[in-house]
A = this chain, B = another copy of it.
Amino acid sequence: MTRRELLAMIGTAAGSSVMYQAATSLGYAAESEFKGPPNLSGAPKGTSVLILGAGWAGLVAAYELGKAGYKVQVLEYREKAGGRAWTLRGGDTYTELGGFTQKVGFDKGHYLNPGPWRVPYHHRGVMHYYHELGVKLEPFFQVNYNAYVHSKNAFGGKPQRYRHVLADFNGHVAELLSKLGHKGGLDGYVTKEDQEKLLEAMQDWGALDDNYAYKANAETSNRRGFEKDPGGGLSGEPVFSKPIEFSQLLQSGLWRAIGTGSGYEFQTALFQPEGGMDAGPMALAEKVKDKITFNAKVTEIQQDTGGVTVTYTDTKAGGAVKTAKADWCLCTIPASILSQIKKNVSSDMDAAINALPYEAAFKVGLQFKRRFWEQDEEIYGGITYTDLPISLIAYPHSHYGEKGKGVLLGAYPWGPFAYEFASMAPEERVKKCVEFGAQIHPQYLKEFDTGVAVAWHRVPWTLGCFGSWTEAKRAEHYKNMCQIDGRILLAGEHVSYLPAWQEGAVQSSLDAITRLHQRVTAK
């Protein structure tokens, strides 16, 4: 019996609080509670569900409901599945709102994920489907100690290595606390016994010397890196590097970037699917391919006590108007689009749909003729952060060390900067990103090859990046958005506590189909 089985058995027999205690005593934290998709057994024969949208939420529902014996049909606006779990590759064409068309010029094997691009280990729903469907994963470095942190107003605009900023920040903080400890400054705050341990911890964590000082020596170079690295033979003696002064570091503001890997969604282990983020939904879509109707633009959703009727335009068949009917409808269309579709839902749900604004976001993929970030600067994967409008530069997490080309994520701002980029023509966006990026990597100017730029507010099928709940809006509208409204219910990242993440869409879908199944089987 596995621990998980043991826990499940305890849970069944004794209820969840005993199970929680058992889990805790076995070393489990309570967070590992996802046990796979819900058990949907006992579906009444012939019950039909119409699913709108073939992104993660729609596909998970189609897959699970289909397995459970529901009659499922999926309508998808685009010519392929995946939704925002989208990958642009060489040869792809993308036309945005306003008519700009971009033809992607990347070499084979290179790509841009305009939407989600990383998956933390604890996104259990997504990981479950990756494992079940055999999607291969490769690690994603959120933190790269040799990447840069950059501010146009600090260090004369020169990018600083992450390891310098992190090591020096830790070291100076540790030195300060140690000084205070030695002069009685911590008395009254921390017991004498704890102060002893704290000093020991500060010395260790901050790489302080025997006198609790943070300065150029073997220990600090062994954190921040050397002026000249240790080598071999007679030429190998290392030269220590000199820390940045505390005051300069504090005033630079670059410490804002050092926590990048400490957020729960950004902690190791972090992954990406091999070959592009659409690998997950593509694998799911393959399982339900006979159930999906592509190029179906939904124009109206009408329900009555007998079922739901959806009207859609077949955009491939020259705009032919068609209808689809089912007992129930699971709608995963983003609220930004759904708010503009005619439908008869309760005023509560309607208000919720209309109340949700969508966050702006922008991404550009830049292909370069050679992998100069690896060859010249020894940056393999990870992210450089900057206060320039591009916000970051992310290095590819595959093809390490290869001699050919490479594609960088050249920008990923949200908010005002994203709107600014959205207001430009795609060509201009790419040009601007190359110019900004050249302030960090001068090689940009010579090595740039081709690029593609996606401004999410101009993506015709989302008109924005993700549902941007505020605390007040969530308090007022979220539950109304989740309710089964007659014969209609909603799913997607916008119907979750994890907006913007694929996991939000998956968990929202699992929650929705669980409740739908309960409703159906209770009848």
Binding site for B on A (CB under 8 A): 1-4, 25-34, 121-122, 124, 127, 130-131, 137-139, 141, 143-146, 148, 158-159, 161, 163, 166-167, 169-170, 173, 176-177, 179-180, 185-186, 189-191, 193-194, 197-198, 201, 204-205, 221-239, 241, 246-247, 250-251, 253, 255-256, 258-259, 262-265, 267-269, 271, 370, 372, 375-382, 397, 400-403, 440, 442-443, 446, 479, 482-483, 491, 495-498, 504-512, 514-515
A479 to B234, CA, bound (A): 7
Please indicate which of the listed interface residues A2, A229, A235, A496 has the most CB atoms of chain B within 10 Å of its own CB: A229
A191 to B507, CA, bound (A): 49
Do A250 and B4 touch (CB < 8 A)?
A: no
Jot down 24 A-B pairs with beta carbons below 8 A, ordered by A. Answer: A2-B443, A26-B442, A30-B227, A30-B239, A121-B378, A122-B146, A122-B225, A122-B229, A131-B402, A137-B400, A139-B139, A144-B269, A146-B267, A176-B177, A205-B258, A205-B259, A222-B265, A223-B263, A230-B497, A231-B497, A233-B495, A234-B479, A268-B381, A269-B382
Do B271 and A482 touch (CB < 8 A)?
A: no
Q: A138-B139, A189-B176, A497-B237 are in contact. Are A231 and B507 (CB under 8 A)?
A: yes
Nearest 5 CB-CB pairs, A to B? A233-B511, A232-B508, A232-B507, A230-B497, A145-B267
Chain B residues whose C-beta falls within 8 Å of the C-beta of A27 in the assembled complex:
148, 158-159, 440, 442
Do B31 and A141 touch (CB < 8 A)?
A: no
Q: A161-B29, A176-B189 are in contact. Are A269 and B232 (CB under 8 A)?
A: no
Chain B residues whose C-beta falls within 8 Å of the C-beta of A3 in the assembled complex:
372, 376, 442-443
Do A264 and B226 touch (CB < 8 A)?
A: yes
Do A201 and B29 touch (CB < 8 A)?
A: no
Chain B residues whose C-beta falls within 8 Å of the C-beta of A234 in the assembled complex:
479, 482-483, 511, 515
A169 to B228, CA, bound (A): 32
A228 to B122, CA, bound (A): 11
Chain B residues whose C-beta falls within 8 Å of the C-beta of A235 in the assembled complex:
511, 514
A372 to B189, CA, bound (A): 43
Chain B residues whose C-beta falls within 8 Å of the C-beta of A177 in the assembled complex:
173, 176-177
Q: Which of B130, B169, B262 contacts A167 (CB 8 A)?
A: B262
Q: A180-B185, A247-B191, A264-B225 are in contact. Are A496 and B269 (CB under 8 A)?
A: no
A170 to B512, CA, bound (A): 38
A512 to B232, CA, bound (A): 8
Q: Which of B29, B158, B232, B375 contacts A510 (CB 8 A)?
A: B232
A414 to chain B, nearest CB (A): 17
A27 to B439, CA, bound (A): 10
Q: Which of B197, B223, B228, B253 contacts A250 (CB 8 A)?
A: B197
Chain B residues whose C-beta falls within 8 Å of the C-beta of A227 in the assembled complex:
29-31
A431 to B144, CA, bound (A): 38
Q: A251-B194, A262-B166, A262-B223 are in contact. Are A228 and B31 (CB under 8 A)?
A: yes
Do B189 and A131 touch (CB < 8 A)?
A: no
Do A381 and B139 touch (CB < 8 A)?
A: yes
Do B382 and A256 touch (CB < 8 A)?
A: no
A267 to B236, CA, bound (A): 21
Do A504 and B29 touch (CB < 8 A)?
A: no
Residue of B nearest to A1 (CB): B446
A316 to chain B, nearest CB (A): 32
Chain B residues whose C-beta falls within 8 Å of the C-beta of A143 in the assembled complex:
268
Do A255 and B32 touch (CB < 8 A)?
A: no
Given contacts A2-B443, A222-B263, 6 further A-B pairs with CB under 8 A are A2-B446, A122-B378, A176-B186, A201-B256, A223-B264, A269-B382
Q: Which of B166, B189, B198, B497 contacts A238 (CB 8 A)?
A: B497
Residue of B nearest to A143 (CB): B268
Chain B residues whose C-beta falls within 8 Å of the C-beta of A221 in the assembled complex:
264
Do A400 and B491 touch (CB < 8 A)?
A: no
Chain B residues whose C-beta falls within 8 Å of the C-beta of A130 in the assembled complex:
401
Residue of B nearest to A497 (CB): B230
Q: A230-B498, A255-B205 are in contact. Are A121 and B138 (CB under 8 A)?
A: no
Do B269 and A146 touch (CB < 8 A)?
A: yes
Chain B residues whose C-beta falls within 8 Å of the C-beta of A375 in the assembled complex:
2, 4
Q: A144-B269, A185-B180 are in contact. Are A29 and B225 (CB under 8 A)?
A: yes
Please indicate which of the listed interface residues A145, A222, A381, A397 has the most CB atoms of chain B within 10 Å of its own CB: A145
A227 to chain B, nearest CB (A): 5
Do B381 and A269 touch (CB < 8 A)?
A: yes
